[in-house]
Structure 1
Amino acid sequence: MAGTGKSTISRTIAHRFREKNQLGASFFFKRGEGERASAKRLFTTLCAQLLLQVPALIHHVEMAIDTDPYISGKSLKEQFTKLLLEPLLELDQNEPTAIVIVIDALDECGNTDDIQTILQLLPDMQKCKSRHVRIFVTSRPELPIRPVFEKSNNHQCIVLHELSSTVVGKDIRAFLSDEFSLIKERRKLPSEWPGDDVLETLIKRAVPLFISAFTICRFVDDPKWLPKERLLALLNDPATTSGSQMDRTYLPVLKQLLAGADEGEEKQLKQEFHDTVGVIILLATPLSVNALAQLTDRPREMITNRLNGFYSVLSVPENLDLPVRLLHLSFQDYLLTTKESPFRVSPEKTHQKIALHCLRVMNDSKRGLKRNICGLLSYGTQYEDIDRQTVDQHLSAALQYSCQYWIYHLQQSEGHVSEPEVFPFLEKHFLHWLEALSLMGVISEAVGMIDMLQRAVGVSLCVVHT
């Protein structure tokens, strides 16, 4: 279940074992965070971290890389075997010690086949006799995951949403008490605020979801409002006592957007919400306010103003060049699945909108794609000789995002973007697009992207010319 505190537990376990010098490695999957939503960096990341914890592995990993320098691009099974399992099996067995590996939110890995492969490979770590390897995995009980666990008996399982409300309530009480103490101290509020009765009410409304308790605290502590007024508004909002748990968590936040607006203002606010927050929750990787302004072709001030009301569900840095992030994916889930709500986000239509934004950015005559976009002196310049600052100077964050993810959004739109909208771009900018991918260091992804494009809209690239 979303919001039960899985990632919080993972972070706590990782922190405690790091303090004991027993954390071997960790990887936190996160949907919508680029490479963190994919398994392609999982085993290489775990290997790199293990080398710091167990230096004796370095020699064996170096030998594996010398034997196959391209191992990082091979299948997950080959990476796991050559970079993790075989080096661990080669270690001296005289002094076995414990190593903990934490893998969080496995369900947020984008490829279901990769999820099953990972779960089938991990138990082989128990073959290592020189180290007692223990792996802590959190996940929602999604279909690709349940069958693998059901077929094996080499694990222990705790189902958070099956814990008694008494146990969960005790933990949420401790969390809310601590957070409200910090709010009181930070905002110079009376020691008796908010009172035991109010705290008990909030605890009952939050159980069994930690994300509800977390959102309550962020809502009340919004720096642009007075905490007493925010808490009173929350307690008096009917949405906090009716509907689903997710309704009670997120509707009060969303309804603040329309408070006091007339019919015309409501229409504008809803549209701005879908043009900003609706886009943010479906981005393949987070973008800054400045990049969002260019991508969506909306004024930066409008985006900043609209995001100001979502402090409790979004991380919006003061630096407008830093990415805006979701605080919890359950907010995305809620907006995509809520019924009959003006805040519901249509995934297909929004992906269509983002794909068309990307095409517009890449087609832009001033800041879009063009031949030799970085003004290099020689077409034979090697990638490693090109300064990253030069690339970022000539390819804005919005343009780089558009080049890397326009086909992904086109595919996710499920036919809402057609060949006539794509073909003119390919005719004019196909080679420029490949050049940009090369400058960005992701040209290896081009073949897969082209295959995806042809499946999505049936464009035959053999007729494309520039």
Structure 2
Amino acid sequence: MSMSQPDLQPPTLINLSHSVLSGGNFTQNNQIYNVPNGERAGFMRLVQNATPNALYDSGHIVDPPKCHLNTRVAIIQTIIDWSSGTIVDEKVKAKPILWLKGSAGAGKSAIARSVAERTSKEGLLLGTFFFGAGDATRNHVGGLVATLAYQICRTLPELRGMVTTLVEDDPLIFNRSISAQFTDLIIRPLSTILSNHSGTIPIPRLVIIDGLDECSANINSQRDLLYTLQEVTGSTTLIRFLVSSRPESHLNNAFSSSRMANIHYKIFLDDDYSAYQDIKLYLQDKFQEIKEGHVFKHKLLATWPKPEIIWDLARKSSGQFIYASTVIRYVESPRHRPDQRLDAALNLRPPFKDLPFTELDALYRHIIYKAEDPSRVLDILAFPILYGEFYVEYIERILQLEEGDVEVILADFQSLVTIGMPSSASHGHIESAVKFRHKSLTDFLCDSQRAAELYRDHSAARVQHITRSILIVGTTFKHDGIRELNLMTNWLTLTHRLIVPIQPESHGIIHDLLQAASQFPTFDIVKNLHVSGYYLHKLVCISR
């Protein structure tokens, strides 16, 4: 618009409510849509507000994850039996929501897609919505109900006219709350159509919502969506929801609330089902496909890869299908020899220009950067990296944190770490320890090339831990003397785990260690330990 035409006004937008359009193009809200002959405006508004990328079979997603043949069979069948109401367990059958939770890379989306494919073929699926943090069209709840309503209209064509009329009667329906949208566009039409359903044909009832933790607007919207699903299932028995997510703390809390606790059934992939055999089968089949069809198959030995290599990869996966699938995608590159690529993935030769675990590393980086203080998270993760599972109480004292801080800081990292009873609880007063769910996380954080800006000098961190432990023991003795000998022997046990030959790159911070050691009241502590035969015996056991 030029400055010489100040009176020019933009054309008034057309009100399409209760209108029938016959062919042609129209512009509305600065977007252009092609209108099929005879299509009603209400349905077109529904389509406009839907999210195509969130469909389980969206063409937008290249090579979408699905379960490999003959893997995850028990889990998939359990979900299908639950959705159809044929599951034997009556208590499970009565639950209208199933929460499929698992750590990062455990294969939740692959299971959800495989369930969607089967239930769609069997006439049990109403709709799906796959959240994706990296896709701006599906990392929020805005298009959820419109997407589900569109799919339901296709599954049950008799609902299409009713839903279209509802949208035309309330053109701003998609600006209302998710709860109101569910009520008007899904529950009311389904109740009208399916309440009179009869016959042997199964009723489609399943709605799949995958990746709830990737709805990135804020954690409140994730919780509110769960409570909306609770309201929906409380007003109708016609819908069952399969919800998959990582076990984030706010989602654990929401599912454990009084509103949700009794209406959902939980499948925890890390606990309820062992993925080791499935991952090994997947690797065996994929390596066989490479041997039979790769362009450089003539370069491969008949014994490649050796069985122990497959077993080792399955073990390193720690239940993560993403780890195994990442290895396969790297190895099967048509531009390289598969045996050399596998050696690179196993660190048996220098990596190629494209690093083996780019996808997995991106996942770890995304989760860590979601923390309010990623640096503090890395300080805590240094302990299980260096020493294996490690007591929370000791981490808090060494890092000078308040009691309970570790659990709070790692609250949103339950897909990567566990905080619970240690496997060997030698100290009765200590109740919890931190350990990793996946070995590949240690590999990532210890590789400066992979971790990049998240990499830490763990040798230097070990010296700092030793220094702080010496100061704690010395200070405790000076203040409390023999009354705290039990605590001190525990700390001496800890220091025994910490002390190893110090790496040359850590020499820059040795001064602090030597200064702490010079202040350590060695003679007084040993004298008092000698007075108490129990503690002396304990210290002798430590030294062994």
If the TM-score is normalised by the length of the shorter chain, which range does it land in?
A: 0.5 to 0.7
TM-score (norm 1): 0.52
Are 2:322 and 1:256 equivalent residues in the alignment? no
Are 2:300 and 1:158 equivalent residues in the alignment? no
- Verify the 8 A CA contact 1:76 1:117 in the aligned structure 2: no
Q: Which residue pairs with 1:199 in the alignment?
A: 310
Q: Shift in Å at residue 339 of structure 1?
A: 5.3
Residues 120, 334 of structure 1: alpha-carbon distance in 2 compared, 3 angstrom cutoff: closer
Q: Shift in Å at residue 183 of structure 1?
A: 1.5
Q: Matches of 1:329 and 1:206 in 2, distance apart?
A: 14
Q: Which residue pairs with 2:247 in the alignment?
A: 141
Q: Matches of 1:221 and 1:334 in 2, distance apart?
A: 29
TM-score (norm 2): 0.45
Task: Find the residue that maps to 2:276 and give its secondary structure.
Answer: helix
1:115 aligned partner, one-letter code: Q
Task: Find the residue that maps to 1:178 and give its secondary structure.
Answer: helix
Residues 115, 81 of structure 1: alpha-carbon distance in 2 compared, 3 angstrom cutoff: same
- Verify the 8 A CA contact 2:183 2:232 in the aligned structure 1: no
Q: Which residue pairs with 1:120 in the alignment?
A: 227
Q: Shift in Å at residue 184 of structure 1?
A: 1.5
Alignment of 1:57-136 (within 5 A): 57-95=159-197, 97-110=203-216, 111-126=218-233, 132-136=238-242
Q: Matches of 1:309 and 1:89 in 2, distance apart?
A: 53
Q: Shift in Å at residue 179 of structure 1?
A: 1.4
Identify the match of residue 367 of structure 2 among 328, 333, 336. 333
Q: Matches of 1:154 and 1:127 in 2, distance apart?
A: 9
1:77 aligned partner, one-letter code: S
Q: Shift in Å at residue 106 of structure 1?
A: 0.2
1:16 aligned partner, one-letter code: R
Are 2:336 and 1:225 equivalent residues in the alignment? yes
Q: Which residue pairs with 1:178 in the alignment?
A: 285
Q: Matches of 2:219 and 2:129 in 1, distance apart?
A: 17
Q: Matches of 2:345 and 2:151 in 1, distance apart?
A: 44
Alignment of 1:18-417 (within 5 A): 18-95=120-197, 97-110=203-216, 111-126=218-233, 132-151=238-257, 152=260, 153-163=262-272, 167-187=274-294, 188=297, 189=300, 191-237=302-348, 256=351, 309-310=354-355, 313=358, 329-330=363-364, 332-333=366-367, 341=448, 343-344=450-451
1:185 aligned partner, one-letter code: E
Q: Shift in Å at residue 185 of structure 1?
A: 1.9
- Verify the 8 A CA contact 2:131 2:140 in the aligned structure 1: yes
Task: Find the residue that maps to 1:45 and give its secondary structure.
Answer: helix
Residues 144, 32 of structure 1: alpha-carbon distance in 2 compared, 3 angstrom cutoff: same
Q: Shift in Å at residue 103 of structure 1?
A: 0.8
Task: Find the residue that maps to 2:334 and give its secondary structure.
Answer: coil
| Count of equivalent residues | 267
- Verify the 8 A CA contact 2:145 2:178 in the aligned structure 1: yes
Residues 116, 236 of structure 1: alpha-carbon distance in 2 compared, 3 angstrom cutoff: closer
Residues 313, 15 of structure 1: alpha-carbon distance in 2 compared, 3 angstrom cutoff: farther
Residues 230, 208 of structure 1: alpha-carbon distance in 2 compared, 3 angstrom cutoff: same
Q: Matches of 1:18 and 1:217 in 2, distance apart?
A: 29
Deviations 1:95-119 (A, max 9, x none): 2613211111100001222211211
Q: Shift in Å at residue 94 of structure 1?
A: 2.8
Residues 330, 5 of structure 1: alpha-carbon distance in 2 compared, 3 angstrom cutoff: farther
Task: Find the residue that maps to 1:102 and give its secondary structure.
Answer: strand
Q: Shift in Å at residue 174 of structure 1?
A: 1.6
Task: Find the residue that maps to 1:30 and give its secondary structure.
Answer: coil
Task: Find the residue that maps to 1:90 and give its secondary structure.
Answer: helix
- Verify the 8 A CA contact 2:213 2:245 in the aligned structure 1: yes
Task: Find the residue that maps to 2:239 and give its secondary structure.
Answer: strand
CA RMSD in angstroms comes to 2.9
Identity %: 31
1:171 aligned partner, one-letter code: D
Deviations 1:128-152 (A, max 9, x none): 76x7422111001223312221122
Q: Matches of 2:331 and 2:369 in 1, distance apart?
A: 21
2:354 aligned partner, one-letter code: G
Deviations 1:135-170 (A, max 9, x none): 111001223312221122111001112236xx2111
Q: Which residue pairs with 1:435 in the alignment?
A: none
- Verify the 8 A CA contact 2:361 2:451 in the aligned structure 1: no
Task: Find the residue that maps to 2:241 and give its secondary structure.
Answer: strand
Q: Shift in Å at residue 53 of structure 1?
A: 0.5
- Verify the 8 A CA contact 1:335 1:345 in the aligned structure 2: no
1:14 aligned partner, one-letter code: A
Deviations 1:238-262 (A, max 9, x none): xxxxxxxxxxxxxx9xx736xxxxx
Q: Shift in Å at residue 335 of structure 1?
A: 8.1
> Is the radius of gyration larger for structure 1 or structure 2?
2
Q: Matches of 1:210 and 1:335 in 2, distance apart?
A: 22
2:250 aligned partner, one-letter code: P
Q: Matches of 2:208 and 2:361 in 1, distance apart?
A: 20
Q: Matches of 2:173 and 2:452 in 1, distance apart?
A: 40
Q: Shift in Å at residue 207 of structure 1?
A: 2.6
Q: Shift in Å at residue 55 of structure 1?
A: 1.5
Q: Which runs of 5+ in 1 are unaligned?
A: 238-251, 258-307, 315-325, 348-466
- Verify the 8 A CA contact 1:88 1:128 in the aligned structure 2: no
Deviations 1:22-57 (A, max 9, x none): 221111111111111111111111111111001122
Q: Shift in Å at residue 342 of structure 1?
A: 5.2
Relative to its length, the structure with more helix (as a share) is: 1
